Amino acid sequence: MIISSKELQMNEQIRDSEVRLIDADGSQVGIVPIKKAMDMAAKADLDLVKIADKAKPPVCKIMDYGKYKFDMAKKEKESKKNQRTSSVKEVRISMNIDVNDLNTKVNHAKRFAEDGDKIKVSMRLKGRELGHTDIGRNLMMNFADMCKEFADLSKPVVLEGKSLSMLLAPKSKSNNQSKKSSKKGSEEGKKRSQNSSFKARRKCIS
């Protein structure tokens, strides 16, 4: 039973003449004089706690209030520990990025995803690169493909002024585990393919 976290009236602090009583095992005793309720709590070596002061008559429960507060504080601490606010981290790449740097950026994105954060991938276009936005888009999508083991494309590539950007969202851990084995076998061949595509891209914009 969840009770308000505010300080509650208990034992001698309760001034009502009668209360609706709930026993320590959660059973409904019914409406009883306050003296009888206090006697029952004392006999059980527990506290009489008013848990619903707005009710007519107010509702009281026999319980170990100190233990209840300790248990609730422990549950609240665990709840806060398990709740993490997701934020958006940014990874910046350039159109002329080389394979090693790109792999480093992928590792950064992976670390962010493992922390539960979304990843904004951005690319600032300069000079003649503005005339080759298609190449930039392809590189962005290639980056998203390299991250597909741990992140999904949440928002597609868009051109905002002189920058391209997209948003990746982390996958659940269960999805990551199921895809690791199938990804591992083809990784080396994929890296060789990326290396040749980057060389072709440089020729195009030089």
Domain check: are 96 and 177 in the same one? yes
- At 182, which helix (H) or strand (E)? helix 173-184
195: domain CATH number is 3.30.110.10
Count of structural domains, the chain: 2
- Can you give the pLDDT at residue 75? 87
Domain check: are 118 and 66 in the same one? no
- Can you give the pLDDT at residue 159? 92
d(CA 96, CA 99): 10
Domain check: are 69 and 108 in the same one? no
Domain check: are 96 and 167 in the same one? yes
Neighbour-count burial of 194, counting CB atoms closer than 10 A to its CB (0-12 exposed, 13-18 middle, 19+ buried): middle
Mean pLDDT in each 10-residue stretch from start to end of the chain (206 residues)? Answer: 64 92 92 94 93 91 90 84 76 93 95 92 92 93 95 93 94 58 50 53 54
* pTM of the model as a whole: 0.49
Write down which residue in 43, 60, 81 finishes a domain. 81
Domain that holds residue 102: 88-205
Domain check: are 103 and 40 in the same one? no
In a domain? residue 77? yes
Q: Are 111 and 142 in contact (CB under 8 A)?
A: no
d(CA 47, CA 49): 6
Write down which residue in 58, 81, 104 finishes a domain. 81
- Can you give the pLDDT at residue 206? 54
In a domain? residue 6? no
- Can you give the pLDDT at residue 80? 75
Domain check: are 187 and 112 in the same one? yes
- Can you give the pLDDT at residue 2? 46
- Can you give the pLDDT at residue 8? 84
Domain check: are 134 and 109 in the same one? yes
In a domain? residue 139? yes
